[in-house]
Amino acid sequence: MSPIFEFLFGQYKGYETHQIVLEAIGVFFGLVSALCSWKNSVWVYPTGIISTAIFVYLLWQWELLGDMVIQAYYFIMSIYGWYIWTRKVTPDTYTPITTTTKKEHKTTLFIFLGALLFIYIIYEAFDKWTSWTAYVDTLTTGLFFVGMWLLAKRKIENWLYLLAGNIISVPLYFYKGYTLSSILYLVFIGISIAGYYAWKKYLNNNPAIA
C-alpha cells in the first residue's frame, strides 16, 4: 500500500465494510444533489434526501452528534425545499431565484444563533465537549442551517454560507478520519463558487425579479 493511500484512507481499516459502502453511496448522491443545485434543478432535493438519510444513520453509529444534527436538518429542509421549489407563485411560474431581503437577513441571524444554542444543548446533554472539533462543529452547524434555509427559499446568498461551511469541513472531516466526506466537501467548494456565479448571472439577466 502506498504511503499516500495509507495517509488518505488508512483510517478506514477499522470500519465495517457496509459503513464504507454506505458512505461512498452517500457521497455520490450528495455530489449529484450539489450539481443539481448548481443547475437550479429541483432534483437537488430527492437526491439530497437519499444522501442525508444515509449520513444520519452513519453519523449516529459514529457518535458524531453535531454532524448528525446537520444531516437530519438537511433531510427536513430537503422536504421543505422540494415543496417550495415546486410551488407555483403564479399559474405559470415557480419560486424564482432572488436576493435576500432585510427581513430575511434578520431571520438568518435567528437561525444561526438558534443552531448554536441547539447544538450547545445537545453537546451538554451528551457530554460531547471532549475535543476542539466540537466547537468547530457548532460553527459549521450554524452556517449550514442558514445556507440550507436560504437554498430552500432560492436565495442566492445561500452559496456564501455553504461555501464558508464547506471550506471549514474539508480539514475537519479529514481530521476526524472520513476522507471520502472530506473530498466531497472539497468538491462542494468548487460547486458553491460555480453555483453562486451561475445564479448571479441569472439574476443579472432577470433584474426585475432580483
Which tens digit of pLDDT belongs to each residue from 99-124?
999 999 999 999 999 999 988 888 88
Q: How far apart are CA 91 and CA 98, in angstroms?
A: 19
C-alpha separations of 81 from 49, 114, 154, 178 in Å:
11, 20, 9, 28
- Cell readout for 174 is 479529514
What is the residue range of 79's domain? 3-89+96-209
Count of beta carbons in the 10 Å neighbourhood of residue 126: 10
Residue 8: the pLDDT is 55
In angstroms and rounded to an integer, the radius of gyration of the C-alpha atoms of the chain is: 18
Residue 128: the pLDDT is 78
Q: Which of 110, 104, 111, 136 is nearest to 123 (CA)?
A: 136
- Cell readout for 206 is 432577470
- The domain tally of the chain equals 1
Residue 180: the pLDDT is 82
Residue 203: the pLDDT is 93
Residue 165: the pLDDT is 95
Q: What residue ranges of the chain have pLDDT lower than 70?
A: 1-14, 66, 89-92, 208-210
Residue 160: the pLDDT is 97
Residue 209: the pLDDT is 60
Residue 90: the pLDDT is 66
Chain centroid, CA 98 distance in Å: 20
Q: Which residues pair with 98 in a beta bridge?
A: 155
Residue 9: the pLDDT is 59
